[in-house]
Amino acid sequence: MQKLICVKGGVKGTGYYHNGNTGMNERVKSILIVEDDALIAMNLSETLKSYGYVTEIPVATAEEAILRAREHHPDLILMDIQLAGKMSGVEAAGIIRKTEDIPVIYLTAFSDDERLKAAINTAPYAYLIKPVQNQELRTSIEVSLFKHRIDKALRESEERYHAVVSQAMEGIIIYDRGTRAILETNPAVRSLSGYSKDELLTMNIADLLPGLPAGAGSMTGQATGEQIKLGEMKLLRKNRESFDVECTARVIRNAGKRAAVCLIAHDVTERKRAEIAFSEANKKLNLMSELTRHDLLNQIMALKGYFQFSKSYIMNQKHAELVQKEEEIIRILEKQIIFTRDYQNMGIKKPVWQNVAALVNIASSDLSEKTLRIDTGRPDLEIFGDSLLEKVFFNMIDNALRHGDGQLTSIRFSSQETDDGLILSCEDDGPGVPADQKELIFNRGFGKNTGLGLFLVREILGITGMTIRETGIPGTGARFEITVPRGVYRFVRDGKPVAASSTV
């Protein structure tokens, strides 16, 4: 039910009513009547009040209408075209429209073409011929208020998007999907390319992005609004220089019109320069590391040779024990230097899909212990991992052998899918890991040997988002669980990925 607000002294009242259609409280709309016939103005005012609107005190001249519109900002104006005074209602509406966002409905006794054309130029929301039926008036007012609300929301939305687009650092290009003619660009495109707006509107998208695939113009397989990653390509400037940009695109469909494509080009020149500089610096560091490691290993090899000669001069048991300890130190140093090579190479190559069973077989073939039984698990499991993934399984098997205390006879790999991904387990029947060391064993330097094996395992797995933990029961064997996220594992049969959900 609408709550009516009284008007005192010509000042618009304020109040709200509950709109049953929207379920919200809405402000009562005010209407300014501009009519030089006092009787008609009074009848209109009473009629509008009966419909629940607030009415301003009617005015009779265009000058008063302009002043009242600026001071009181009514929600709608009912404007008679023929007014008292020198200025017409159409002229008044035109002036109001320049400064105020108020919808206007013309009420006039004239329907000639000349007046109609003049009225249309001021963009009225309705044009009603007197005498007007009450229901027709009410319907026109409701439709006009609703349309104005939609228009206002649309303008505000357009202003927001225009602000975003015009201020964006990325180049935004809209071009015809069929002809590939450029339809619109933002200032960033003009800045990046060196072309003016008028020049760009005469060009084809291929003039700016000669490497853009022909299929990117049609994108027939793409749904409207779906983002398409086009990757990196060269954008050609007006001076014929080119630079690197990363492009994405979306298809825009217009009802009844040919679809367009919105392409966004992000300048990645600085990033590419940084990548090249980083790559060159990395190559130099790697070369220095390789040369240093090579020289150190040569010196260790020579030192080991001298130790072999020195053994023939051992005079007593105490001397022999010292030599044995010195040899052990040299062995550890050699392993640590080799570890630096593995750690340096980690992450250099792109991760690839690798068969787990095959990696376990390769890793176990390098071990001297041939009596150990190893179950590789399901043969169709593949993991997306670093090129050093084989080291993971080698170190896990080697670690089990080193800590088996002579009772280790078997190692079993198995896998189980979970809601979050896959658990890849490595279990043995050795003595297991003490409860207070389950986290420490993955720290660099922990343990009897070099303390680098399980540390390297965790680092290699982490490259593609995998984690590892020890969950075995001390005294019954060790159990390492590798958590593999979804998308990082798959099951392959006959060379093709297949869906599977089972434990093996």
CATH of region 352-498, choose from 3.40.50.360, 3.40.190.10, 3.30.565.10, 1.20.140.10 = 3.30.565.10
Phi, psi of 40 (to 5 degrees): -65, -40
pLDDT given at position 209: 92
Using DSSP's 3-state secondary structure scheme, residue 176 falls into: strand
The answer to whether the beta carbons of residues 104 and 122 sit under 8 Å apart is yes
Using DSSP's 3-state secondary structure scheme, residue 31 falls into: strand
In the CATH hierarchy, which fold is given to the domain comprising 168-267? Beta-Lactamase (3.30.450)
Residues 323-354 as b/e (b if ≥16 CB within 10 A, e otherwise) read eeeeeeeeeeebeeeebeeebeebbeeeeeeb
pLDDT given at position 285: 63
**DSSP labels, 81-133:** SS-BSSS-HHHHHHHHHHH----EEEEES---HHHHHHHHTT--SEEEESSPP
- Neighbouring C-alpha atoms within 13 Å toward the C-beta of 11: 3
Please state the domain extents for the chain: 16-164, 168-267, 273-344, 352-498
- Helix pair 317-345, 269-310: axis angle to 10 deg: 160
| Domain 16-164: CATH class, spelled out | alpha beta
Cis (ω within 30 of 0) for the bond into 131? yes
pLDDT given at position 49: 92
The answer to whether the beta carbons of residues 293 and 340 sit under 8 Å apart is yes
The answer to whether the beta carbons of residues 172 and 185 sit under 8 Å apart is yes
If one counts every other C-beta atom within 10 angstroms of the C-beta of residue 453, the result is 21
pLDDT tens string 463-478: 889 999 999 999 889 9
The answer to whether the beta carbons of residues 475 and 432 sit under 8 Å apart is yes
The contacts of residue 260 (CB under 8 Å, 6+ apart) are: 174, 175, 176, 177, 183, 251, 252, 254
If one counts every other C-beta atom within 10 angstroms of the C-beta of residue 166, the result is 11
**DSSP labels, 247-291:** EEEEEE--TTS--EEEEEEEE-HHHHHHHHHHHHHHHHHHHHHHH
pLDDT given at position 14: 46
pLDDT tens string 125-184: 888 888 888 999 999 999 999 999 998 888 888 888 788 788 888 899 999 888 899 999
pLDDT given at position 428: 92
For the chain, residues with pLDDT lower than 70 are 1-26, 214-226, 254-257, 278-279, 281-288, 290-291, 294, 332, 336, 339-348, 366-370, 447-452, 499-504
- DSSP conformational letter for 149: H
Global pTM value: 0.46
pLDDT given at position 7: 33
In angstroms, the CA 18 to CA 36 distance is 34
